[in-house]
């Protein structure tokens, strides 16, 4: 009797498993048929799932997010179209598309209601509160209206002026006019610049330079932990930005089990305390000329005078969320973009020489460049743009189809095809694929800043996304990046240090080592 019961249970379990397998198989085959079996990938793991995003590329199992980025346009070339599909099974049957077609991407970014942002994929960024990146619809409109005032030309001028002073201070005080500076990793400098330089919303009252909060300090400041805190603002922000995923996946009770986890927990607590302090500090200060900085612009736009009748203010948590997202996005993207730029210039010394000569034509002495001169530094802009083309901070930007629709795709042979996009399908704008698509960019794998000194395909350049959801801080980001790049190259020549263990490297091997990437919150 007992054996019979066990067999019955096993048979029942097996039957249920078979039924589930049959149901999934039918759903999978239906999903493939719904897109007319458009070329692409059929895999087990959903690319946007936790397992799918961290898994390497395994045929039939996972696409491998990092590998998608490293392959750039390779996936599209193999499939024969600039839109490819991916149908996955786990955790549910899901249809996705990856777009490297400029016209199709323009249609997606221009149709915000047909292709809204899948905000559930951005839950990682909601630790401190709702924000402009992880929102959509009316909530996003409210955030954008209030935040937009912080990105005025007056504030961009302030960004340029204060950043140039930070660089001048680094050259003359921190480096003391040394003829040679050696660092293990270029990011050791660019991250320090990005955290010490004037920052849009994360410069903390008396601890950081003027663009954020109207207080100028030295590069060497912020070494001591302020009274009432357990780590500096820089340290807290850096830990939060690099170890955010741990805070998401590790349960609260386990956050004290290791030194690293304890530091992550403290960093989140400290960052929130810093933001609370700065909001309270600004609310209690009189409005003087020191209040004409970027963070104050956000608070002023959020007060009764800055809002229209009936508009709701940002709550404290919403202020926290937006302060955090602008600071995080700013320091991450600037630091790594500059690091890539310096690495590329070191690998291509002829391009570095051309940039240096152009800068010296405009700055024959060592005076500080001015904001009004920014448009004249065309080669600096070209180097910056070429770096962003090759290493876009957000290589893949997701949308979701809110209705059944159709997108048109082309290929290298000049052919066109219509692709059915079912309601609920994820539509990923593959920025890395677009930027390395030979339909738009000649010799796309070569570092050629000069391509940006003539007519270039603007619809095929999307490091800042496009449409209504394009990066609000683009000009801010460009302003500080270009002044840092210009001033660094005006004073120093950048080289890859010769080391014995790499003596036998070919150029391509050195290039691969120096430019190795990984996916985090940004590239």
pLDDT of 2 strictly over 80: no
Residue among 511, 479, 468 at smallest CA distance from 137: 468
- What is the pLDDT, as a whole number, of residue 64? 78
Segment 298-312 mean pLDDT = 66
For domain 137-514, the CATH class is mainly alpha
Is residue 223 scored above 70 in pLDDT?
no
For residue range 490-521, what is the model confidence (pLDDT) as tens digits?
999 999 998 999 989 999 999 999 999 887 77
DSSP3 helix / strand / coil % (the chain, rounded to 5): 55, 10, 35
- The answer, yes or no, to whether residue 216 has pLDDT greater than 70, is no
Give the pLDDT band (50/70/90) at residue 5. Answer: confident
Mean pLDDT of 358-373: 93
Phi-psi sector, 60: left (phi>0), alpha (psi -120 to 50), beta: left
Which segments of 250-292 does DSSP mark as H helices, in order? 259-284
Instruction: Count helices and strands (H / E) in the chain.
Output: 18, 7
Least confident segment among 15-29, 200-214, 350-364, 490-504? 200-214
Q: What DSSP element (H or E) covers 344?
A: helix 316-347
Q: What is the DSSP letter of 498?
A: P
Contact 73, 100 (CB under 8 A): yes
Instruction: Give the residue extent of every domain in the chain.
Output: 2-123, 137-514
Q: Residue 357's pLDDT band (boundaries 50, 70, 90)? A: very high
pLDDT band at 213 (very low <50, low <70, confident <90, very high): very low
pLDDT at 210 over 50: no
Query: Rounded CA gap, 506 and 508, in Å?
Result: 5
pLDDT at position 320:
83
User: Has residue 217 got a pLDDT over 50?
Assistant: no
Residue 198: predicted pLDDT: 43
Q: What is the pLDDT of residues 393-443, one digit of tens each?
A: 989 999 999 999 999 999 999 999 999 999 999 999 999 999 999 999 999
- Interval 258-280 mean pLDDT: 88
Question: How much is the pLDDT for 295?
Answer: 67
Alpha helices, DSSP H, located in 170-220: 187-196, 210-213
Is a pLDDT exceeding 60 seen at residue 292? no
pLDDT at residue 307, as a whole number: 61
8 Å CB contact between 346 and 494: yes
pLDDT in tens, 316-352: 888 888 888 877 777 778 889 999 999 999 999 999 9
Tell me what pLDDT residue 404 has: 96
The single-letter DSSP state of residue 414 is S
In this predicted model, what pLDDT tens digit does every residue of 441-472 receive, in sequence order? 999 999 999 999 999 999 999 998 888 888 88
Q: What does pTM read for this prediction?
A: 0.88
What's the Rg (C-alpha) of the chain? 25
What pLDDT band is residue 63 in, cutting at 50, 70 and 90?
Answer: confident
Q: What is the reported pLDDT for 83?
A: 97
pLDDT higher at 310 or 43: 43
Q: 54-76 burial, b for 16+ CB within 10 Å, e for fewer?
A: ebebeeebbbbbbbbbbbbbebb
- Tell me the mean pLDDT in the region 25-43: 94
Q: What angle do CA 387, 388, 389 make, to 5 degrees?
A: 90
Torsion of Cα atoms, 18 then 23 then 28 then 30, to 10°: 140
Work out the percent of the chain whose per-residue pLDDT is above 90: 44
- Is the pLDDT score of 3 beyond 70? no
Stretch 48-55: mean pLDDT: 75
pLDDT of residue 283: 67
At residue 287, the pLDDT reads 54
Q: How confident is the model at residue 473 (pLDDT cuts 50, 70, 90)?
A: confident
Q: Is 471 annotated as a binding residue?
A: yes
Query: How far is the C-alpha of 13 from the C-alpha of 183, rounded, in Å?
Result: 60
Nearest to 226 by CA among 206, 240, 196, 243: 206
Q: How confident is the model at residue 220 (pLDDT cuts 50, 70, 90)?
A: low
Name the 3-class secondary structure at 408.
strand
pLDDT higher than 80, residue 306: no
Question: For residue 163, is pLDDT > 80?
Answer: yes
pLDDT at 369: 94
């Amino acid at each position: 009797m007992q054996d019979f019961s066990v067999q019955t249970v096993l048979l029942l379990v097996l039957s249920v498993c078979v039924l589930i397998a049959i149901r999934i198989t039918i759903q999978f085959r239906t999903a493939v048929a719904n897109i007319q079996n458009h070329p692409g990938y059929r895999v087990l793991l959903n690319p946007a799932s936790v397992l799918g995003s961290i898994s390497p590329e395994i045929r039939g199992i996972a696409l491998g997010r990092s590998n998608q980025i490293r392959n750039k346009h390779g996936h599209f070339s193999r499939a024969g179209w600039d839109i490819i599909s991916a149908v996955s099974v786990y955790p549910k049957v899901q249809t996705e598309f990856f777009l490297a077609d400029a016209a199709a991407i323009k249609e997606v970014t221009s149709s915000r209601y047909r292709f809204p942002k899948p905000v559930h994929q951005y839950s990682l960024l909601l630790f401190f509160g709702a924000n402009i990146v992880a929102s959509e619809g009316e909530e996003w409109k409210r955030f954008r209206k209030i935040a937009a005032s912080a990105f005025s030309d007056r504030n961009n001028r302030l960004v340029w002026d204060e950043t140039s002073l930070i660089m001048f201070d680094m050259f003359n005080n921190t480096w003391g006019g040394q003829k040679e500076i050696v660092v293990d990793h270029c990011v050791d400098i660019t991250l320090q610049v990005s955290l010490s330089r004037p920052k849009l919303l994360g410069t903390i009252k008396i601890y950081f330079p003027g663009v954020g909060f109207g207080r100028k300090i030295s590069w060497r400041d912020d070494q001591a932990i302020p009274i009432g805190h357990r780590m500096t603002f820089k340290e807290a922000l850096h830990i939060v930005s690099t170890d955010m995923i741990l805070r998401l996946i590790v349960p609260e009770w386990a956050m004290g089990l290791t030194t690293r986890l304890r530091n992550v927990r403290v960093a989140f607590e400290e960052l929130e305390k810093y933001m609370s302090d700065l909001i309270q500090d600004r609310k209690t200060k009189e409005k003087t000329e020191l209040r004409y900085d970027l963070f104050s612009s956000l608070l002023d736009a959020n007060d009764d005078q800055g809002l229209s009748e009936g508009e709701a203010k940002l709550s404290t948590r919403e202020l926290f969320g937006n302060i955090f997202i602008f600071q995080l996005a700013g320091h991450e993207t600037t630091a790594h973009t500059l690091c890539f730029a310096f690495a590329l210039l070191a690998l291509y010394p002829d391009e570095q020489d051309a940039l240096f000569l152009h800068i010296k034509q405009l700055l024959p002495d060592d005076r500080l460049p001015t904001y009004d001169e920014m448009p004249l530094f065309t080669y600096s802009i070209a180097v910056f743009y070429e770096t962003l083309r090759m290493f876009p901070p957000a290589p893949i930007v997701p949308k979701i189809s809110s209705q059944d629709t159709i997108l048109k795709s082309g290929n290298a042979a000049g052919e066109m095809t219509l692709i059915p996009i079912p309601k609920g399908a994820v539509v990923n704008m593959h920025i890395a694929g677009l930027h390395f698509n030979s339909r738009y960019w000649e010799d796309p794998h070569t570092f050629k800043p000069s391509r940006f000194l003539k007519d270039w395909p603007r619809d095929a350049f999307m490091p800042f996304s496009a449409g209504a959801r394009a990066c609000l801080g683009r000009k801010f980001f460009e302003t500080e990046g270009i002044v840092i790049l210009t001033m660094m190259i005006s004073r120093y020549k950048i080289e890859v240090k010769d080391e014995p263990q790499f003596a036998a490297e070919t150029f391509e091997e050195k290039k691969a080592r120096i430019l190795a990437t990984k996916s985090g919150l940004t590239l």
